[in-house]
Structure 1
Amino acid sequence: MSSGIYRSAKIVWDYHLLHQPLVKSDCLFVLCSNDIRVAEYAAQLFLQGYAPYIVFSGNVGEITQGLFPCSEAEHFANIACEMGVPSECIHVEPFATNTGDNIIKTRELLMEKNLDPQRFILVQKPFMERRTLATFEKLWPSKTAQVTSPPLTFDEFANDVISYGDMVNVMVGDLQRIRYYPALGFSTEQVVPTAVWQAYEYLVAAGFDDHLVADISR
């Protein structure tokens, strides 16, 4: 990774992170993916008493196709059980295919179970914190939420499952969505500082465009 790409990617990474202090809530809401560290972190939060139950939401996405023997949500739930979370405290929503879908289908699941949590802790990857919270605020405004992620630095995040290239591509795609999704009614407005958008443009010009949505700005 060149110095210019590194600096720009770090700017975007820092923008996505919100660093919200955690308070005990009614429900841990985990938006699943290919990163099992999110499942492990959510289980740790449960075991520390941050909420009385966990919802894992997610089907199979482009990145997780063939990675797990079941849906993302089911795989994450199995990890939580192995770490000591009681099965009766886990709810699984295995059908959602994007962030908005996670929220809509989880809301439906909780209604079916006659559960009405008022305060949520959203658990996500570090570079998806901001868009996750913005999406939740738009689609479920009657509830209160905070967002958190495994305490990993930019330099620590990449591993044998998620490369630096994959990470930067997703970060860039999420920033594009943060900029343009509010006009489509998908999320709340977020201020994007000039330096952050310049970093985005630098990374797109450098070829990190795998997760961009075509014609989204039109």
Structure 2
Amino acid sequence: MSVADTAVDINNLAIFLADQQLNNLAACASVDCIIICASAVLHSAEVLFQTLQECPTLTRKLVLCGGIGHSTQFLYEAVADHPQFHTLAKAITGLPEAQVLERIFDEFFDGAAVRAAGCQILVEDESTNCGRNAIKSREILERFAFDLKNIILIQDPTMMLRTTASFEHAYKHVENRPHFISCPVFVPQVRPSAQGQLVYAFNSPPMLWDMQRFIDLILGEIPRVRDDENGYGPNGRGFIGHIHVPAEIEDAWRRLQSMSKGTRS
């Protein structure tokens, strides 16, 4: 495969997994709730917090979601490497991911003004994986007996499809369950460089994953969203509802998987 062909396959997987239903938070009508799951790619949180600062009536409830899990160290490192947030590096090390987001929100954005405008901030800092993000967020919202008709979900775009499926699964027995809207904030895309290497597209946000880690993430996600004996769907581990993976996505995954194995052998 050429680098250009590889880039097409990567981009198609990234688009599929990002499940972008909302591509502009600032242009969105007000919703009952926004839930953001912490990620080592801080761009999504920055866009959300900036948008809330400019439009604090965008939502009545904001849930900051994430405990301490296998990827939390990547979040600490992202904060330490950030041109502004690095001043928090020592203070946030060891904190649950949701508390890291809260510190960023309050120290680098006008969190107090957002709260004063009527947006309630809830911190869910116990979940350790995607499925628990959904369950624990539902529990914290139910604790306050909120009547929610619509919820925007924000997550690492490589995990957005599975995250929305996890929330829909967590609410499957809830009467009058809310409508979930996927908002990955951005969809990562790559291109061949003049030197024939894979690099991120020109309009990409700063401070994204190392390229090999990004590829590993999207390759690892496809087996999870499959509804077979090894996947997370009803025919497998039962963590999410059925997701149809189109044939062209499966074909792209196989080509990339074969290429990835070849480069590591």
Verify same fold: TM over 0.5.
Answer: yes
Following TM superposition, where does structure 1 have runs of at least 4 consecutive aligned residues deviating by more than 4 angstroms? 156-161
Structure 1: which 5+ runs fail to align?
209-218
- 1:122 aligns to 2:173 (yes or no): no
**Residue 203 of structure 1, CA deviation:** 1.9
Question: TM (normalized to structure 1)?
Answer: 0.84
Question: What residue number does 1:164 align with?
Answer: 211
Q: Secondary structure at the residue paired with 1:28?
A: strand
**Residue 161 of structure 1, CA deviation:** 5.6
Letter of the aligned partner of 2:129 in structure 1?
N
Question: What residue number does 1:77 align with?
Answer: 102
Q: Secondary structure at the residue paired with 2:35?
A: strand
Larger radius of gyration: 2
Q: Would you say how many aligned residue pairs link Structure 1 and Structure 2?
A: 208
Question: Aligned-pair RMSD on alpha carbons?
Answer: 2.4
Question: What residue number does 1:151 align with?
Answer: 186
- 1:203 aligns to 2:229 (yes or no): no
Question: TM (normalized to structure 2)?
Answer: 0.70
Letter of the aligned partner of 2:110 in structure 1?
G
Question: What residue number does 1:64 align with?
Answer: 72
Specify whether residues 60 and 158 from structure 1 end up closer, same or farther in structure 2 by C-alpha distance, changes over 3 A only.
farther
Greater mean deviation of Cα atoms: 154-163 or 173-182: 154-163
Identity %: 23
Q: Secondary structure at the residue paired with 1:146?
A: strand
Specify whether residues 187 and 59 from structure 1 end up closer, same or farther in structure 2 by C-alpha distance, changes over 3 A only.
same
Q: Secondary structure at the residue paired with 1:77?
A: helix
Aligned partners of 2:71, 2:170: CA distance in 1, in Å?
Answer: 25
- 1:33 aligns to 2:64 (yes or no): no
Q: Is the 8 A contact 1:158 1:164 kept in 2?
A: no
Q: Is the 8 A contact 1:39 1:77 kept in 2?
A: no
**Residue 151 of structure 1, CA deviation:** 3.0
Question: What residue number does 1:103 align with?
Answer: 134
Q: Is the 8 A contact 1:158 1:167 kept in 2?
A: no
Letter of the aligned partner of 1:187 in structure 2?
I
Structure 2: which 5+ runs fail to align?
23-27, 78-91, 190-200
Q: Deviations over 1:64-122 (max 9, x none)?
A: 22535222111112222231133753211111111110011111222333434332110
